[in-house]
A = this chain, B = another copy of it.
Amino acid sequence: VTEVVGIRDEIVGKLEQAMAEHGLDALVATSPENVAWASGAAPPSQKTVRSRLAAAIVPRHGESELVAIALEGPVVRTQSRLNSIRLYEEFVEDPVLVFADSLRQRGLDDGAVGIEETHLSYADHEKLAAALPAARLVRADELLAELRMVKTPAEIEAIRDIGAAAERIAAEVCDRFGAGSTEREIANFVAERYAEAGGDGLTMLVVGSGPRSAAVNAPPTGRTLEPGDMLRLDIIGTKGCYHSDVARTAVVGEPTAEQQEVYDLLHGVHRRCLAALRPGVLTSDVYAIYHQAMDDAGLPPYHFVGHGLGITLHEDPFVNALSATPLEEGMVLCIEPLTLLEGRFGVQIEDEVLITADGYEPFTEAGGLTRMAS
């Protein structure tokens, strides 16, 4: 309970301050990530049935409100940290008109209202504008992304917790499985352990063995591991809305000289990227370390080497050639050098870190190439 209150106070405080700075009277967050961030609630079917919209309505002054579908009232009631909850009946009420009504009741129907232009559909935007003819709808997408970049202490603990669990599970996979195991058996084991660690579920699980270790986002199949296979494992899921994203690469039995060499090279690059992390450093400069090393080694680079991690899997700041975002204390990043030798094998080493005042603190920490039983 202490932790939940901590998250609320910090985030509502950030929102109120940001609205004052940007001349906004209210924010209407509608994307699943910003509803979860602002309110703590994640209506389960919001992502699966697009018409089941939810909104976190946060005025600069006064009482905040979560709007959600009535049939998920019992779920969101246990999650929301906003002052009130307003439920709408599917098919009977239009959620966008309920958002408008909630603003009207707060006297904000002629205010400057921050909305998510990259989430709200064109049709819903037109409906909201028509329902609130005196309001000024203002794009708040970038503002929300920026606010979410630097994590609060309670958010940091939530991410650290499930990230550490993902790392333990990956280590356990390397210990328990080997030649003769199937990718599917490994996937079932990961899912079970992830649930035991309190995870909500896996949003994407990569289990790619042999040549499949070189396929992007490879889901588990019935393929059986053989001696000499590389295994690439990427454990992506959530606990209480916050993501884990930890990848490990192992070998079944003894590696070839090339497998060992590519792994060691990636691991060296990984450590150099990590050593560069501190406030003020540009994300594009971290990417340059990786890209240069791949070029020097004649290995195919990937188009990014890291990303922010939080309620969404990939969020600002992006660590690629094009995003020159200065690092700040309190950001949580994944650093994940990757190379995919198509049809042969792939290597990926992904750790989660927190940017601190003078460098970084690892949440997870990959070691050398692990041998699985052959």
Question: Contacting chain B: which of A114-122, A165-173, A246-254?
Answer: A114-122
In the assembled complex, the Cα of A192 lies from the Cα of B187 at a distance in Å of: 9
Q: Does A256 contact B (CB under 8 A)?
A: no
Quick check: A120 and B118 within 8 Å, CB to CB?
A: no
A: which residues have CB within 8 A of B?
A: 31, 44-45, 47-51, 71-72, 74-75, 89-92, 117-125, 139, 141, 184, 187-188, 191-192, 195-196, 200-201, 203-204, 215-217, 219-220, 303-304, 312-314, 318, 320-323
Quick check: B141 and A323 within 8 Å, CB to CB?
A: no
Chain B residues closer than 8 Å to A318, beta-carbon distance: 91
**Contact flag A314-B91 (CB < 8 Å), given A121-B117, A123-B141, A191-B188:** no
The 5 closest A-B pairs by CB, nearest first: A122-B125, A117-B123, A118-B123, A117-B122, A91-B322
In the assembled complex, the Cα of A312 lies from the Cα of B50 at a distance in Å of: 10
Quick check: B121 and A120 within 8 Å, CB to CB?
A: yes
Chain B residues closer than 8 Å to A312, beta-carbon distance: 49
Quick check: B123 and A121 within 8 Å, CB to CB?
A: no
Q: From B122, B195, B216, give the contact of A72 (CB < 8 A).
A: B216
In the assembled complex, the Cα of A175 lies from the Cα of B330 at a distance in Å of: 51
Quick check: B123 and A139 within 8 Å, CB to CB?
A: yes
Least Cβ–Cβ distance between A169 and chain B, in angstroms: 14
Given contacts A48-B204, A90-B303, A184-B195, 5 further A-B contacts (CB under 8 A): A71-B217, A91-B318, A92-B303, A119-B121, A120-B122
Least Cβ–Cβ distance between A125 and chain B, in angstroms: 4
Nearest-CB residue, chain B, relative to A141: B123
In the assembled complex, the Cα of A241 lies from the Cα of B139 at a distance in Å of: 34
